[in-house]
Structures are given as C-alpha cells and as structure tokens.
C-alpha cells in the first residue's frame, strides 16, 4: 500500500510550508516533543493551525473521493458524484440561510454555518430520495434527475436570498467555493468520527459495489439484495460527504476526478478502489489546500478554485479519451 | 424423490400501472429439462422469469424453489441456486472480461474472500468454452453486443446454478453463436440443470427444447413437448399468423413461410 507513505509525505510537506517555513526535521523534532531551542511560535503554528487544517484536508479529500467511487459504481455512470444527490446544494442552502439569518459566523463546534450546512445537506438528500420514489435504486436516472431538479430549486432559493441580502453575497459565494481555513481540532474530530467509519463501511462493500455495477437485475441474480445494498451505500456516502461539506464547503471535482485516476492506476474492482481513492483524494486535497494558501501570500484563494482549475482540463482529457479507445473505461 | 426446482402455485401479479395481469399460473419446472418460453411480445414471458428469479414478488400465490418458499432462501443461497440473465444488460465501465465473469463466483465466495483456485478454474473453463480467450483483458464496455452476450452467459454459468433463467439468450448473436448457446444450454440441461429460456424463434424451440410453455395474455396456455405444442393452429391463435409446417432432414416438424390468417 503505497498510499500511507505518500500521504504521510504530502502531509509533512503541507505542514512545513506556509507564511512561515518550518523545516521538516524541526517538525519531526517538535512532534517528538524535542523542540527545545526552536521558536515557540512554531509549535503553536503547527499544533493550532497547520496540523489540524492539513488533517482536515486529508479527511475531506478522502471521503469526497470515496463518495465519488460509490456513486459512479452504483449509478454505472462515470460522471456521477455524491454532489448530484443534493448534498452540495443542500449544504449551500443551509449555509446561505445561516449567513443571512445569523449576525456573526462564529459559534462552538462546527459553527452556526457549518451546522446549518450539515443539516441542509442531510435534509435535501433525504428529500431527493423521497422525490425519486421507490424506483430510485432500480433506475438510477430517476435518482439523478430528482437530485438535479432539487439542486436547481435550492440554487433558486439561494439566489433569491442573495438578491435580498446583497451585503452577504461575498460571504455566501466564498463559502460555496470551499475553504479549509480556520479548521481546528474539533472539526478534525468531527470528520474522523463520521468519515472514517463511513469509508470503512464503503470499503467493506467493495465487492458488493462490483456486483451492483453490473445492473439491478443482474445484481439480484448474483445473490445480493440490490435495493438494500444500494440504500446502505448511499446512506454512508451521503453522511460522509455531508460531514465533509459542512466543514469545508462544496469543494468540487475531487469526487468526480479521483476515482478515474485510481481506476486507471489500479483497475476497476471496487474492493481496492475505495481505499485507493480515499488516499488519492486525501493527497490531492492536501496539495490543493497547500497551493490555495501559499500561491498568493499572505492571502488565500478558495481551495475549490484550485481543484476546479485542476479538474477542468482533466475532464477534457477524459472526454477526448472517450471518443477513442475509452479512457473513461480506465 | 428429488425436489422440483421451481414450483408456481396459483401465482398472480399485476404491475403498479397498466392493464396487464399475470396469472393465475401454476406450474412445475423439472430438473434436467430445457424449457422454452414461447409467446408474443407482452404475453408475460419475462414477467414469469422475473417472478421465478424473485426480482418481482407475486401478489398472490406461492413460488417454491426446491420445495422451499422463495423468500426463505437468503440472497446468496439464491445466487448459488439460480442464475438470471435479463434482457437489457448494463455494462459496468472498465471491468475486464475475466474479472466480470469472475463476479459469477460471488454467491460462492461472498463479499470478502478472494476467488480460490477452484473459482479461477471455473472462470477459465467458461472463458475457453465461449471462445473468449482473446478478449480476456478487454473492458466489457468495449465489447460488441454479441461478445458481451457471450461474456454474460459465461458469467451466469460460472455461478454453477441449478436453475438457469434466460431472457432471449440469442439476442445480438449471429446464427452460429446462437446455435452455440442453444447447444450449450442443451448440454447443461442434460447435466441435470433446469433451464428456462425465452425463445422467440419457434424453430429454435422445436429443435432444442425438451418442453415448451406457450404463454399468452398473462396465462400459461399449454405446456408439453415442442412438437405437440408448437402446432400451426395453436400458434395461429396466439400470434395471428399461420405458419406452414414442413419436415426437416431428420423427420422433425419445422415451421416456416407465414401465410396470413383471414
């Protein structure tokens, strides 16, 4: 498993760079409790800011990629991702309402905005499933269509709220673009508690995902309960993604992009694909976040812009491959 | 006495919308028989297969597999018992042929174990049997319709099912591949499996099946040896087309050259 050392290396790199450069050797010394003689501020920067933020980036990126794998496998559609289930639009709506209603953005734990985003994501996802009705798992397009329709509805409400609250437009926009700034230990804990179990469940269902990806009737014939398995997979996918979006906003393209790369590198079998994608997503978002906070110091650009800049050309390459021998087929 | 693989007892089913009604149908499908389901479009042949497979559940009546109610079998037990090839296959993107056929071993190995030696041998045997060696590492999404149909059949047979349900197995296939499939199905039924297949060509049914079930208007009209059931008069009732019987080189009745019923 090359993922563990690769992720560890990337995390060290990300923790090392920033407004203040802390050499990796010194980081290891501070982590080992032998940082005597090094500036006190370094230890504060590491423990209070960079380490929790970088860990959060890894956890968010990992679970977004994992969700992409399960959606693409389940819907047998290389362009699907968990955001299509209404998670990002629901989160954005929740966050927008919180921004408009609440005078300040603070608050303990996830904060007012994060909590509202999480509740919005879960509520809207449940609404998407209800709207899709009983056939949702049998005909995936119903679920995707219902997700798209409800996403439009959420977007309309967001725009309406923006129209009436022009002074908050910037905050709403920036929240939607996604960012990992001001991520403390509580959020790391929150992400660990939800996304790690969700990822483990999804990874353990890898073989079942293989079977489901052959189609509903076929999966039934191969001895799984397609309805129940799909429901479990989607429940954990939604929960994990919502937890991530509540912390970091709707960071795009990870869920779409990483599974394709992981499939290309190690084949389509979901047994390993889920874990491989988790590492891929974690590594990618740690690096993207590093870029987001270092390209234009001392300011930051929203990390969603970085992932979009990487994602757009990637999608074009994917689309070109589709015409020929089918790069989409990994 | 060995248990009967499939028993339907007064089974009725109605879709959520529409006027179609299936049943009441009672029947028994025996082991070692190749049963052809014949009848016009929309007659209920696929419904019958779906009911037996368990994809849909009857509104009334009871379906038993080997003397035990359908719902009493767990999903995986059912997968070891019965393979089902529906009509409209979906293709998972990226799966290589060999790995896809290996999914047929799922009911045996379960969600966590890897394929064992025996599983791999069975997969290899099916690959050879269907002449798929040259496709082994190609992605199923890049196969032609006929190639993919053979891959699906290989997957179904890798399940080692006692009951094989096939909805138009000859779909997408050229003449020789279709005959290859029908021959293989005959072999499998000869080896003791219960094969139920929807066949549209009455001559295929006449040549290959042990039994024909004639299905029309959601009812099982009659069943028996193909030569008795597929009589031109009976088919005229069902299809509204009069087929002309003739005798082939082996003295078997075949049907051809339709002349329209007045």
Q: Which two tokens stand for residue A294?
A: 């270092």
Confidence tier at A325 by pLDDT (50, 70, 90): very low
| Secondary structure of residue B262 in the 3-state scheme | coil
Is residue B173 predicted with pLDDT exceeding 50?
Answer: yes
Domain, as residue range, for A164: 3-325
Q: Residues of A with CB below 8 A from B106's CB?
A: 207, 210-211, 222-224
Residue A10 lies inside a defined structural domain of this protein: yes
CB-based contact A224 B75, cutoff 8 Å: yes
Cα–Cα dist B190/B158, whole Å = 17
Q: Which pLDDT value is given to residue B257? A: 64
- Domain containing A40 — which CATH number? 1.10.3470.10
Tell me what percent of the residues of chain B surpass a pLDDT of 70.
97
Q: Which residues contact B247 (CB under 8 A, 6 or more apart)?
A: B253, B254
Q: How far is CA A170 from the centre of its chain?
A: 22
Q: Is A214 within 8 Å of chain B by CB?
A: yes
Q: Residues of A with CB below 8 A from B80's CB?
A: 223
Phi-psi region of B32 (alpha: psi -120 to 50; beta: other; left: phi over 0): left
Buried/exposed code over B50-62 (b: 16+ C-beta within 10 A; e: otherwise)? bbbbbbeebeebe
Is residue B1 predicted with pLDDT exceeding 50?
Answer: no
Gap from B225 CA to chain A (nearest CA, Å): 28
Least confident of A28-37, A51-60, A101-110, B30-39: A101-110
Gap from A322 CA to chain B (nearest CA, Å): 11
Confidence tier at A105 by pLDDT (50, 70, 90): low
Gap from B222 CA to chain A (nearest CA, Å): 27
Is residue B170 predicted with pLDDT exceeding 60?
Answer: yes
CB-based contact B79 A224, cutoff 8 Å: yes
- For A18, A21, A159, A287, the CA distances from A294, given in Å and listed in that order, are 6, 11, 31, 11
Q: Which pLDDT value is given to residue A285? A: 96
Q: Is A210 within 8 Å of chain B by CB?
A: yes
Residue A309 lies inside a defined structural domain of this protein: yes
Residue A125 lies inside a defined structural domain of this protein: yes
Confidence tier at B172 by pLDDT (50, 70, 90): confident
CB-based contact B84 A225, cutoff 8 Å: no
Residue A7 lies inside a defined structural domain of this protein: yes
Q: Which pLDDT value is given to residue A326? A: 41
Please give the ipTM for the structure prediction.
0.90
Residue A330 lies inside a defined structural domain of this protein: no
For residue range B114-126, what is the model confidence (pLDDT) as tens digits?
899 999 999 999 9
Determine the residue of chain B that is closest to A220 in CA distance. Answer: B55
Residue A198 lies inside a defined structural domain of this protein: yes
Tell me what percent of the residues of chain A surpass a pLDDT of 70.
94
The owner of tokens 């993604």 is A241
Q: Residues of B with CB below 8 A from A256's CB?
A: none
In chain A, the number of structural domains is 1
Q: Is A213 within 8 Å of chain B by CB?
A: yes
Confidence tier at A183 by pLDDT (50, 70, 90): confident
* Between A31 and A68, residue with greater pLDDT: A68
């Amino acid at each position: 498993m090359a993922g563990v050392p690769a992720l560890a290396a990337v995390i060290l790199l990300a923790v090392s760079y920033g407004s203040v450069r802390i050499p990796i050797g010194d980081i290891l010394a501070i982590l080992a409790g032998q940082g005597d003689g090094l500036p006190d501020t370094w230890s504060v920067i590491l423990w209070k800011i960079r380490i929790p933020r970088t860990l959060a980036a890894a956890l968010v990126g990992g679970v977004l990629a994992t969700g992409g794998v399960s959606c693409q496998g389940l819907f047998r559609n290389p362009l699907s991702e968990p955001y299509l289930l209404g998670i990002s639009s629901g989160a954005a709506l929740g966050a927008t309402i919180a921004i408009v209603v609440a005078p300040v953005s603070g608050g303990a734990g996830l904060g007012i905005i994060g909590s509202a985003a999480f509740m919005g994501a879960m509520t809207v996802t449940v609404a998407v499933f209800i709207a899709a009705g009983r056939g949702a798992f049998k005909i995936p397009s119903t679920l995707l269509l219902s997700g798209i329709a409800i996403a439009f509805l959420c977007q309309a409400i967001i725009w309406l709220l923006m129209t009436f609250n022009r002074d908050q437009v910037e905050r709403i926009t920036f929240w939607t673009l996604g960012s990992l700034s001001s991520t403390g230990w509580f959020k790391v804990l929150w992400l660990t508690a939800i996304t790690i179990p969700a990822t483990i469940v999804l990874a353990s269902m890898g073989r079942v995902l293989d079977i489901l990806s052959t189609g509903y009737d076929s999966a039934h014939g191969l001895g799984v309960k397609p309805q129940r398995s799909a429901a479990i997979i989607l429940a954990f996918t939604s929960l994990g993604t919502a937890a991530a979006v509540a912390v970091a906003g709707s960071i795009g393209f990870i869920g779409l992009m990483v599974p394709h790369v992981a499939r290309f590198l190690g084949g389509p079998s979901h047994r390993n694909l889920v874990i491989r994608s988790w590492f891929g997503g974690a590594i990618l978002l740690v690096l993207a976040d590093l870029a987001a906070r270092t390209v234009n110091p001392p300011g930051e650009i929203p990390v969603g812009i970085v992932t979009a800049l990487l994602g757009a050309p990637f999608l074009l390459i994917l689309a070109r491959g589709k015409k020929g021998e089918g790069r989409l087929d990994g | 006495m060995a248990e009967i693989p499939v028993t339907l007892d007064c089974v009725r089913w109605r879709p959520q919308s529409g006027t179609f009604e299936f049943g009441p149908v009672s029947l028994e499908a025996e082991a070692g028989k190749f049963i052809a389901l014949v009848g016009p479009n929309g007659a209920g042949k696929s419904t019958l297969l779906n009911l037996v497979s368990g994809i849909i559940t009857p509104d009334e009546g009871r379906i038993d597999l080997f003397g035990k109610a359908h719902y009493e079998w767990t999903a995986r037990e059912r997968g070891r018992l019965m393979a089902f090839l529906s009509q409209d296959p979906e293709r998972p993107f990226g799966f290589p042929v060999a790995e896809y056929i290996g999914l047929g071993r799922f009911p045996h190995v379960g969600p966590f174990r890897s394929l064992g030696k025996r599983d791999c041998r069975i997969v290899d045997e099916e690959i050879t049997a269907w002449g798929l060696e040259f496709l082994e590492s190609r992605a199923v999404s890049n196969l032609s319709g006929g190639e993919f149909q053979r891959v699906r059949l290989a997957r179904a047979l890798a399940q080692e099912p006692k009951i094989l349900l096939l909805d138009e197995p000859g779909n997408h296939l050229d003449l020789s591949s279709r005959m290859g499939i029908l021959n293989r199905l005959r072999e499998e039924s000869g080896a003791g499996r219960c094969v139920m297949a929807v066949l549209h060509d009455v001559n295929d049914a006449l040549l290959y099946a042990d039994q024909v079930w004639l299905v029309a208007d959601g009812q099982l009209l009659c069943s028996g040896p193909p030569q008795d059931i597929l009589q031109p008069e009976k088919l005229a009732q069902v299809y509204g087309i009069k087929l002309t019987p003739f005798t082939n080189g082996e003295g078997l009745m075949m049907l051809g050259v339709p002349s329209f019923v007045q």
